[in-house]
């Protein structure tokens, strides 16, 4: 089976006819079987089944395949909840959704968004990737404040109600992972709700991006500025030729048909058929036999299923098949196709524009090449500039004023004193209230530094006559009563107030001072006379007196016998002369005139 956006049976038959027309395997022909899976296994005894499109379908069919030892190949069941390692007879010939996680997170990291809302459908397909996304966002310190889960068969009213919740939030970056039928309606309603305007960012996974071409104009108009990822399939002559044959075959069957390029699922479907055909050719023979066990009359259909004798060998051959297909290198690792690269595109006009690529080894890059980089890149500079919703070229900050959000109510005290901090005045003619002062200016300056606009409203805490409505304690308690969100003013931080409000750091100079009584414990201290002067000053005074004594000794010891004697006597005389001048009690009378003058000067200084 070959999927397009809505493939009618004639188009599927056209694809099979084109494949059979190649005639490279004359012993093998494809057959379209619109029959029940159980019937194919029980009565037809098929060797392999291709075609479970959804992950839910693939789970059920894989269970039957395991019981009958028949390989089940799916080119569109992408949910990580279905694993070839847990279900050996399931072969995923498409990409696992978990392989797309790093490409998505690389985009978020490149534009430095710190919060992301996930929007996904409540199915195996939608839920499977979410744990991987959340874990990846946590590793890069990006918060997921909300997950919007939409039922697969949600009506328009349910979608609108969910979008209304999102409009009350400040986060404006959304990652959408859902099928085309649901996501197309989501974007139409998001556009009507004003969520496709300037400041918003949307990222879609390949579940939606693969079918953008067939969408009608109203959906495309609603998706302008959306970013998306899709697997990178290199262009080749074989792919171009097959597309031409595909279009001609569709037009021959239905001349009025709107033909489009094959999407990735269609290309993988073709490669899947080639892989199976090559495996069957290698195993040899097209006739299969099933061994059956005897069952009772009341046995269920599952109990009567036989076991394919060639199933295990065919499975191993499929897993080891490797060739150059339409999608590039077809190579299965652990039962599933390996990812190589993703295109990052931007929805503009009626189509999409590729703005970059992501690869596991190199990260983001503007062009796809095989040259190794020095380091893995998540830089915005490695992408072309996208056009954002609202036809804007400004990168969304990740925060937006909630369309239906509430304003921040700020309480302001009304008082007479210290009007330099807070000044509230009401115009008697217009009844308008103005708020001024240092506290108000500081708060407004903080708001200006935020990376997003914050709607707010100042409200005075006053009576109808314009007087204060209570004390500061009463004003702060209004926050606890949820009448105010914030209070701004010259408010002292006190312990009792901290019981019901949280304070910011003081906006004046930080510090702490205490007023304590002085306790006099120095009454019996013999050294209290030293307290009036500092130690530095006492040392300076002592050094000055000793210096004076040394100078006197130098000038007097030759002519004055009292300054002679042993070394110890001379040192004692110098010290005694120096300190005795404090009380004018020195007994050593100097002989020289200069020493007499120096002594008088020292007496005058000490007095």
Given a contact cutoff of 8 angstroms between Cβ atoms, the answer to whether 578 and 546 are in contact is: yes
Burial of 525 per CB tally in 10 Å (0-12, 13-18, 19+): exposed
Given a contact cutoff of 8 angstroms between Cβ atoms, the answer to whether 1 and 72 are in contact is: no
Which two structure tokens, joined as six digits, stand for 309? Answer: 């004798």
Q: pLDDT digit string (tens) for 291-326? A: 766 655 555 555 567 777 788 888 899 999 999 988
Instruction: Return the pLDDT at 538.
Output: 78
Q: Give the residue among 482, 484, 477 at the shortest CA–CA distance from 500.
A: 477
Dist CA 351 CA 209 (whole Å): 11
Which residue ranges does the chain devote to CATH 3.40.50.2300? 9-94+236-286+304-336, 97-232+341-382
Report residue 288's pLDDT band, with 50, 70 and 90 as the boundaries: low
Give me the mean pLDDT over the 505-516 stretch. 72
Over 80: is that where the pLDDT of 262 sits? no
Report residue 10's pLDDT band, with 50, 70 and 90 as the boundaries: very low
Q: Which residue has the higher pLDDT, 513 or 586?
A: 513
What is the CATH architecture of 9-94+236-286+304-336?
3-Layer(aba) Sandwich (3.40)
Dist CA 93 CA 353 (whole Å): 27
Which residue ranges does the chain devote to CATH 3.40.190.10? 408-499
Over 80: is that where the pLDDT of 27 sits? no
The CATH number of the domain covering residues in 408-499 = 3.40.190.10
Over 80: is that where the pLDDT of 41 sits? no
Task: Calculate what percentage of the chain has a pLDDT beyond 70.
Answer: 76
Q: pLDDT digit string (tens) for 66-83? A: 888 888 888 888 888 888
Report residue 259's pLDDT band, with 50, 70 and 90 as the boundaries: low
The CATH number of the domain covering residues in 97-232+341-382 = 3.40.50.2300
Residue that is written with structure tokens 């001379």 in the block: 570
Instruction: Return the pLDDT at 7.
Output: 43
Alpha helices, DSSP H only, in 426-566? Answer: 438-449, 472-480, 535-556
Q: pLDDT digit string (tens) for 138-164? A: 999 999 999 999 998 999 999 999 999
Distant-in-sequence, close-in-space partners of 228: CB < 8 Å, separation ≥ 6: 203, 204, 205, 206, 208, 209, 212, 344, 345, 346, 347, 352
Over 60: is that where the pLDDT of 12 sits? no
Dist CA 227 CA 529 (whole Å): 83
Given a contact cutoff of 8 angstroms between Cβ atoms, the answer to whether 279 and 317 are in contact is: yes
Pairing of strands 117-121, 147-150: parallel
Q: Give the residue among 253, 220, 106, 116 at the shortest CA–CA distance from 174.
A: 116
Burial pattern 98-114, b for ≥16 Cβ within 10 A else e, equals bbbbbbbbbbbbbbebb
Q: Chain-centre distance of CA 604, in angstroms?
A: 80
Instruction: Return the pLDDT at 320.
Output: 92
Give me the mean pLDDT over the 426-439 stretch. 85
Instruction: Return the pLDDT at 180.
Output: 85
Helix, strand, coil in percent for the chain, rounding step 5: 40, 15, 45
Q: What is the number of other CB atoms lying within 10 angstroms of the CB of residue 363?
A: 21
Mean pLDDT, rounded, of the chain: 80
Which two structure tokens, joined as six digits, stand for 16? Answer: 């099979």
DSSP output for 202-242 = EEE-HHHHTTSTTS-HHHHHHTTT-EEEEE-----HHHHHH
Q: Is the pTM of this model over 0.85?
A: no
C-alpha triplet 228, 229, 231: angle, nearest 5°: 155
Least confident of 237-241, 330-334, 571-575, 587-591: 587-591
Q: What is the number of other CB atoms lying within 10 angstroms of the CB of residue 365?
A: 19
Given a contact cutoff of 8 angstroms between Cβ atoms, the answer to whether 205 and 97 are in contact is: yes
Q: Give the residue among 145, 148, 146 at the shortest CA–CA distance from 158.
A: 148
- Please name the helix (run of DSSP H) or strand (run of DSSP E) that holds residue 604, with its range, or none: helix 593-606
**Cα-flanking dihedrals φ and ψ of residue 331, to 5°?**
-150, 120
Q: pLDDT digit string (tens) for 314-372? A: 889 999 999 998 888 898 988 888 877 999 999 998 888 999 999 988 889 988 876 66
Give me the mean pLDDT over the 535-541 stretch. 80
């Amino acid at each position: 089976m070959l999927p397009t956006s809505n493939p009618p049976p004639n188009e599927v038959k056209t694809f099979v006819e084109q494949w059979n027309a190649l005639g490279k395997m004359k012993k093998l022909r494809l057959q379209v079987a619109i029959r029940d899976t159980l019937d194919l296994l029980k009565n037809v005894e098929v060797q392999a089944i291709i075609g479970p499109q959804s992950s839910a379908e693939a789970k059920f069919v894989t269970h039957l395949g395991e019981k009958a030892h028949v390989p089940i190949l799916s080119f569109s069941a992408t949910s990580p909840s279905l694993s070839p390692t847990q279900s050996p007879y399931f072969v995923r010939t498409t990409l696992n959704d978990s392989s797309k996680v790093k490409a998505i997170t690389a985009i978020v990291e490149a534009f430095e968004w710190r919060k992301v809302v996930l929007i996904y459908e409540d199915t195996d397909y939608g839920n499977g990737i979410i744990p991987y996304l959340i874990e990846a966002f946590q590793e890069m310190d990006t918060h997921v404040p909300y997950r919007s889960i939409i039922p697969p068969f949600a009506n328009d009213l349910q979608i609108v109600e969910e979008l209304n919740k999102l409009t009350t939030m400040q986060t404006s970056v959304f990652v959408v992972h859902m099928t085309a039928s649901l996501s197309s309606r989501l974007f139409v309603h998001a556009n009507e709700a004003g969520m496709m305007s300037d400041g918003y960012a949307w990222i879609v996974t390949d579940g939606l991006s693969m079918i953008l071409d067939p969408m009608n104009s109203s959906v495309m108009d609603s998706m302008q500025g959306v970013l998306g990822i899709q697997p990178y399939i290199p262009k080749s002559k074989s792919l171009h030729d097959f597309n031409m044959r595909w279009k001609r075959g569709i037009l021959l069957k239905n001349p009025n048909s709107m033909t489009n390029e094959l999407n990735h699922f269609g290309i993988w479907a073709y490669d899947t058929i080639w892989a199976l055909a090559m495996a069957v050719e290698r195993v040899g023979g097209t006739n299969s036999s099933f061994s059956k066990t005897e069952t009772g009359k009341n046995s269920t259909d599952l109990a009567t299923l036989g076991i394919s004798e060639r199933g295990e060998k065919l499975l191993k051959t499929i897993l080891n098949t490797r060739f150059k297909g339409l999608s590039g290198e077809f190579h299965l690792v652990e039962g599933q196709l390996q990812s190589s690269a993703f295109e990052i595109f931007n929805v503009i006009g009626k189509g999409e524009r590729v703005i970059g690529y992501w690869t596991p080894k190199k990260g983001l890059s503007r062009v796809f090449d095989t040259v190794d980089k020095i380091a893995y890149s998540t830089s915005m500079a490695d992408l072309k500039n996208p056009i954002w919703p609202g036809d804007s070229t400004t990168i969304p900050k990740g925060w937006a004023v909630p369309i239906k959000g509430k304003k921040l109510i700020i309480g302001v005290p009304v008082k007479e004193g210290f009007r330099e901090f807070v000044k509230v005045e009401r115009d008697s003619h217009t009844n308008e209230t103005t708020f001024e002062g240092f506290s108000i200016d500081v708060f407004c300056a903080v708001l200006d530094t935020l990376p997003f606009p914050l709607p707010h409203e100042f409200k005075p805490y006053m009576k109808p006559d314009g007087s204060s409505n209570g004390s500061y304690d009463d004003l702060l308690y209004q926050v606890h009563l949820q009448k105010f969100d914030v209070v701004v003013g010259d408010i002292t931080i006190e312990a009792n107030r901290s019981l019901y409000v949280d304070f910011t750091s003081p906006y004046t100079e930080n510090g702490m001072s205490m007023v304590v009584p002085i306790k006099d414990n120095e009454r019996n201290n013999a050294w209290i006379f030293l307290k009036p002067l500092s130690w530095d000053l006492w040392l300076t005074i002592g050094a000055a007196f000793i210096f004076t004594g040394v100078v006197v000794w130098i000038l007097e010891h030759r002519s004055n016998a009292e300054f002679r004697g042993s070394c110890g006597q001379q040192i004692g005389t110098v010290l005694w002369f120096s300190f005795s001048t404090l009380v004018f009690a020195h007994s050593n009378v100097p002989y020289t005139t200069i020493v007499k003058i120096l002594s008088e000067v020292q007496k005058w200084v000490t007095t």
